[in-house]
Homo-oligomer: A and B are copies of this chain.
Amino acid sequence: MGSYTIQQVLIPVGQGYETVDVQIEGDAIAAIAPHLEPIGTVIDGRNKLLLPGFVNAHTHSSELWQRGSIAPLPLELWLGELCDFPLPDPEQVYLSALGTAVETLLSGGTTVVDHLTLIPGQEKETVAAAVRGYQEVGIRAFVGPLIQDQSLTTSLPTGGEQRTHVPHYMSLQDNLDLMADLVANFHRPEAGMNIMLAPTGPQLCSNALLTGCVELSDRHSLCRHTHLLESKAQQMLAYEKYGCSAAEQLQRLGFLGDRTSLAHCVWLDDADIAILAATHSTVVHNPLSNLRLGSGIAPILKYRQAGVNVTFGCDGSASNDSQDVLEAIKLGCILHNTTDFDYRHWITPKDAIQMASLGGATGLNLADQIGSLTVGKKADLALYSLTNLSLLPRTDPIGLLVLGRPTQVVDSVWVNGRLVVQQGEMATLDVATLRQELFERSQWDGTRHSPLRQEMEAPYRRVMGLPA
């Protein structure tokens, strides 16, 4: 780590912009003011925009291996197809963590929340591989191992049909023991590496597993993360399973709170929204995945009006299929204009930037440490070149960044004061080698066949009221 002075850079201030110098010393923002006496490495900030780093607040890194593969299907059948792919090995997990981190950083993200799929029998090795990748690249990471104690077929509502399910291979106690071990071995917040308690979702977890996660996370002041009501089928299932909404059930179990972020939140009603507001929980909106899986349009404008903190995620690459945070921000900004005729409620580009930075930090209980251009906060920063064709002519820099389709505009990125992207290239990783590894371990394939998806299709169509 060194010191940096970014000279004459644009930063957003109120409704407009100011030109200032910004200094980084060690891991923190040391000064923001015009005409500072330079320290350390001097960086020309002219015709560049400096913003706090974004949080890619929900993804599943190892889905990178499936991106582009799965046909247009709703969540439940998509999951069946996903489960039919061969399991990755830990080296592949490492490589997909690298790929996820690189795409996140090169689109202005400085933190990734990886809801990480575990390799059965190699759970600890899975986490170790992802952690290694994130630390090498130098992105701030929250790794939430995907744990559950119920098998996939239990996630379909029954509509009263009798069904039998094979037990999940991991018991309640296996899960909790694993998590205690992972916390002890990998949770190093001062190094930018955090473990979260991240049960897959109410649709695949017992109440005991959810409360076990609450206890463990409270003991160590860890963040909690889960999927919540992504699909209509999940909404139906919650009423079958609990007799109430899944949001109400999570509240009863003590899962919600200001260290809890909830991916998707598409099928919540007004009472559920009030629960999220009252518990200071964070909604992670994944607009592209919600569209691709036909999950629906999350009621984001209602969340904002109710005072619920909202931020954005890319979701795993098998359901988006990209880790471009700016793309998620653009869609998260404009999609909701179709849900409310009163444009005074619409999200502005500046709102969207704040949701992606401070909103993301808030959901990770880090609002006092990252998420804004504030002296004393950690230097998690992205510097954008505004002379790229995709950001010309010069108008409103944040308008261009959010509403346009910027390509290759990230000039530099610092995480915790470390320069990880320099002049548009990764400073911490040889991307050509990563590309070669990804290339060699894969093959073009336009024709896939999934027995599990086929098996799930008939019951899914029956319970969802679709014609056979």
The reply to whether the CB of A367 lies closer than 8 angstroms to some CB of chain B is no
**CB <8 Å contact, A444 and B343:** no
Partner of A389, one of B72, B102, B321: B102
The reply to whether the CB of A162 lies closer than 8 angstroms to some CB of chain B is no
Partner of A10, one of B72, B103, B288, B444: B444
CA distance in complex: A179, B398 (Å): 39
**CB <8 Å contact, A291 and B334:** yes
Partner of A395, one of B69, B72, B393: B69
**CB <8 Å contact, A392 and B439:** yes
Partner of A341, one of B291, B294, B327: B294
Residues of chain B lying within 8 A (CB to CB) of residue A73: 343
Among A47, A444, A466, which residue has the most Cβ atoms of chain B within 10 A? A444
The reply to whether the CB of A399 lies closer than 8 angstroms to some CB of chain B is yes
The reply to whether the CB of A324 lies closer than 8 angstroms to some CB of chain B is yes
CA distance in complex: A243, B265 (Å): 42
The reply to whether the CB of A438 lies closer than 8 angstroms to some CB of chain B is yes
The reply to whether the CB of A165 lies closer than 8 angstroms to some CB of chain B is no
The reply to whether the CB of A404 lies closer than 8 angstroms to some CB of chain B is yes
A343 and B294 in contact (CB under 8 A), knowing A321-B404, A408-B407? yes
Nearest B residue to A17 via CB reads B446
CA distance in complex: A287, B88 (Å): 36
Among A393, A394, A441, A446, which residue has the most Cβ atoms of chain B within 10 A? A393
Residues of chain B lying within 8 A (CB to CB) of residue A294: 337-338, 340-341, 343, 346
CA distance in complex: A401, B69 (Å): 11
Residues facing B in A7-51 (CB within 8 A) are 10, 12, 15-17, 47
The reply to whether the CB of A148 lies closer than 8 angstroms to some CB of chain B is no
Residues facing B in A247-291 (CB within 8 A) are 288, 290-291
The interface stretch among A60-68, A183-191, A199-207, A411-419 is A60-68
Pick the 7 closest A-B CB pairs, nearest first: A294-B337, A68-B400, A322-B405, A68-B399, A393-B442, A394-B442, A72-B346
26 contacts between A and B (CB under 8 A): A15-B447, A66-B395, A67-B399, A67-B403, A67-B404, A72-B334, A74-B337, A292-B334, A294-B337, A296-B338, A297-B338, A320-B403, A321-B400, A322-B404, A341-B465, A389-B434, A392-B435, A394-B443, A394-B444, A395-B442, A395-B445, A396-B444, A397-B444, A397-B446, A398-B446, A408-B408
